[in-house]
Amino acid sequence: MQTSYENMTISAFLKELSSATPAPGGGVTALSGAMAASLVMMVCNLTISKEKFAEGEQEIEAILEEALKLRGKLMNAVDEDIQAYNAVIGCYRLPKGTQEENSQRKEYLQVALKRANEVPYRTAEVCHRVLELNRRLPHIGNPNAVSDVAVSAHLAEAALQSALYNVDINCNYIKDDTYVQYYRRKRNALSEQAVITREDVIETVRTALQS
């Protein structure tokens, strides 16, 4: 994809997404995470300035502020992902006629692949932070919006797991074994932690919905 997603209409975005053009997966992941962050913000906005939730107001304001920052990071990640992807493609197109050209091409490609790997990993970390922000909302947020907390948690976890597939794919092409092992360990730990965090949030929401 050529342009920044934010100014595309939803309809144009979906049309481009479904086409055979090799779009980096970053757009879908970032948008899912950004929707999750927006839902956190919505719950905060439905809570702030209401007398009966005054006790948690300061904490809610801090959550709102952080969710806005995280959403910004997720939307920026779309362009970072495109740049990193284009850099990898650029390396594949470098000349490989001489032995020197070939070895330099390989070297540049490995650097570009590592960079392309770190963008989705950081996105996954941002999504986990969005998940974490949801933990407190069923306790201090407007209870009328408690199901939106669960929706946010589902989406944030889906975005996180989606980002981590890009780590898997990039690691398949990276030759530095120490680096790959390090990222595979971190990736698996974050994936497992996200399932636990999402289940915790959902459980709290279910209890709140039934009470």
Binding region for its own copies (CB under 8 A): 5-11, 13-14, 17-20, 22-23, 25, 28-29, 31-32, 34-35, 37-39, 41-42, 45-46, 48, 67-68, 71, 75, 147-148, 150-151, 154-155, 157-158, 161-162, 165-166, 168-169, 172, 205, 209
User: Which one, 15 or 101, has the nearer CB to its own copies?
Assistant: 15
Least distance CB 158 / its own copies (angstroms): 4
User: Which one, 50 or 175, has the nearer CB to its own copies?
Assistant: 50
How far apart CA 42 and CA 47 sit, in angstroms, is 9
- Token duo for residue 132: 């974490």
Burial class for 35, CB neighbours closer than 10 Å (0-12, 13-18, 19+): middle
| CB neighbours of residue 96 within 10 Å | 14
- 3-state SS, residue 93: coil
Task: Round the CA-based radius of gyration of the chain to a whole number and report it.
Answer: 20
User: Which one, 28 or 119, has the nearer CB to its own copies?
Assistant: 28
Least distance CB 102 / its own copies (angstroms): 24
User: Which one, 75 or 140, has the nearer CB to its own copies?
Assistant: 75
How far apart CA 198 and CA 156 sit, in angstroms, is 8
